[in-house]
């Protein structure tokens, strides 16, 4: 069983990332917790799966990240 505190860290990061992307009009449909790492034992937070995106979404990510510099 995973560590509840580590799980909260991952869920918070996932929620914040999803909101930050949405603020730029970006949706990654497969953005979620990486289930194998979520189910694993240990004290590390689970991984976050960014997933696949189409070229238009990749371009919007590039623009958003470039503007943040």
**What are the pLDDT digits (tens) for 16-50?**
999 999 999 999 999 999 988 888 877 678 899 99
Domains identified in the chain, total number: 1
Q: DSSP label at 44? A: S
Instruction: Give the pLDDT band (50/70/90) at residue 68.
Output: confident
Shortest CA distance to 20 belongs to which of 59, 69, 68?
68
Q: What domain range includes position 37?
A: 4-68
Burial of 69 (0-12, 13-18, 19+ CB in 10 A): exposed
Res 3: pLDDT:
81
Helix (H) or strand (E) holding 61: helix 55-68
Res 45: pLDDT:
84
Res 40: pLDDT:
81
Res 18: pLDDT:
95
């Amino acid at each position: 069983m995973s560590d509840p505190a580590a799980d909260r860290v991952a869920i918070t990061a996932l929620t914040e990332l999803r909101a930050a992307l949405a603020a730029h009009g970006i949706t990654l449909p497969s953005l979620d917790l990486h289930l194998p790492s979520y189910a694993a034992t240990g004290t590390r937070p689970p991984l976050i799966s960014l997933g696949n995106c189409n070229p238009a979404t990749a371009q919007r990510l590039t623009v958003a990240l470039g503007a943040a510099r």
